[in-house]
Amino acid sequence: MRTIAIIPAAGMGKRINSPLPKQFVRVNGKEIIAHTLSIFQNNKEISEIIVSTRPEFFDLLEDIKKNYGFNKLTRIVKGGKERQDSVFAALSASGANNDNLIAVHDAARPLLSQNLLSETIAAAKKYGAVVTAIKAKDTLIEGNDEVENYLDRNKVYYAQTPQIFKYEILFNSMKKAYEEKFTGTDESMLVKKYSGYVKIVEGETVNFKITTNSDLKLFEKIIQSD
């Protein structure tokens, strides 16, 4: 059973003050996406990596591939307007068969551990559809300007990536979403809606997504301390 990693990297990351999208910002002389790609390059269970991005960054990604020896990065495809479009473009170009696993991971989530990646792959082999997520720790309030309700934090998780699915499950779910003109915030939402089941694997707090300047500073501190 092959496992193909899809890294959607077409977002512009406007919440970080940078002329480049956040995934291409250098930290310690290395692009954030290169930190992320290293994780998948170095995992023995990953057969292939596909990145979807904007055409103007194809050459930069080719340079990154060459500079770091990412020989598992076999395809760079044109991303779409939404994350869903970028993932589907890579999925369609993958040439995967129905039993292959597809591991989708955020380009700007560069602190995924090898242990968590391998654990999630193992769970996907067993269950067919898996999302990594961490349990909510704080009191959760529902409302706008005032409190309307309190949610049971024991039943609430923060979704992360990787999210790993059998190709057939993910492809069919995404195809149905397009047929119904439904856009989800991530792949697990689509698979749950159209296939009915997604297993949760406990994630890791350090596996955060770099979204803001404060996230970027935290990432810098973490890798400098290693």
- Over the stretch 176-200, which tens digit does the pLDDT of each residue have? 999 999 999 999 999 999 999 999 9
What CATH number does residue 29 fall under? 3.90.550.10
Confidence of residue 88 (pLDDT cuts 50, 70, 90): very high
Q: Is the pLDDT of residue 167 over 90?
A: yes
Residues of the domain holding 145 = 3-225
Indicate the range of 9-13, 128-132, 172-176 predicted with least confidence.
9-13
CA separation, residue 109 to residues 112, 115, 209 (Å): 7, 15, 4
Measured between alpha carbons, how far is 168 from 187 in angstroms, rounded to an integer? 13
Indicate the range of 24-33, 103-112, 113-122, 217-226 predicted with least confidence.
217-226
Q: Is the pLDDT of residue 226 over 70?
A: no
Q: Provide the pLDDT for residue 225.
A: 75
Q: Is the pLDDT of residue 13 over 80?
A: no
Total number of domains constituting the chain: 1
